[in-house]
Amino acid sequence: MFIICFFICFSFVSAKEKFKLSLVTLEVGEGAFTSGLDIELKFEKKTNMFFIRGSYQRIYALRTIDVVPCLTVGMSMGIFKGLPNFGPYVLFKPVKPISFLYWQTWAMGEIEKPSFNINNFFDAVGVFLDMGWLKLSYVSSTFDGKKFSLPGASFEFPINDRFVVFAGADYELIEDRPLFRVGIYYSPSEQKSK
């Protein structure tokens, strides 16, 4: 029911504000924000962005706006294994290659046991360094009470103006194990935007 309402609301927003699809991402593996096979759609209109990302066990939407050139704020809502969750998203980019992330969500109950009891579900604090084809990151997060500490790197390989393949690895310091992911970006326009 939530997903149906979500797509109805998005269709009205898209029709009114003329959001355009700017990027499609297909990613498989594990990482700070990836688990299994993920598909993401990114829509843009000037300084507004709308993301939909999902897999077999979760789906979430993220709506953001650039408040000033170096600060993006937004709100996310989603469902993970039947558990509704929502919360704020903040991305700060003080200089071009460096960005800082804060993302917090609260859930309505427990996994597979939704209720009206609101509690902390997910939070992430991260720093990212974008050097073009090489991206470095560090994300510290808590998911359903479990802590993660993930330094990582990813490499991008452009195929043409519309397709870029990428591969990434994170290292989960607390559990002492590597995580790997691969994927592809597709941009409907000739200029890739992420």
pLDDT digits (tens, 9 = 90+) for 16-71: 568 899 999 999 999 888 888 999 999 999 889 999 999 988 899 999 999 999 99
Residue ranges and CATH numbers for the domains of the chain are 19-186 (2.40.160.40)
Helix (H) or strand (E) holding 148: strand 146-158
* Rounded Cα gap, residues 53 and 170, in angstroms: 20
pLDDT at 12: 47
pLDDT digits (tens, 9 = 90+) for 161-179: 999 999 999 999 999 999 9
% pLDDT > 70, the chain: 89
Q: Where are the alpha helices (DSSP H) in the chain?
A: 2-17
Q: DSSP for 104-138?
A: EEEEEEETTEEEEEEEEEEEEEEEEEEETTEEEEE
Looking at every residue in the chain, the average pLDDT score rounds to 88
Count of alpha carbons within 13 Å of 143, Cβ hemisphere only? 13
pLDDT digits (tens, 9 = 90+) for 86-99: 999 999 999 989 99
Q: Kindly report the pTM of this predicted structure.
A: 0.84
* Rounded Cα gap, residues 168 and 153, in angstroms: 6
DSSP count for the chain of H helices, then E strands = 1, 12
pLDDT at 108: 85
- Kindly compute the dihedral angle of the four CA atoms of residues 76, 71, 66, 190, in this order, to the nearest 10 degrees: -100
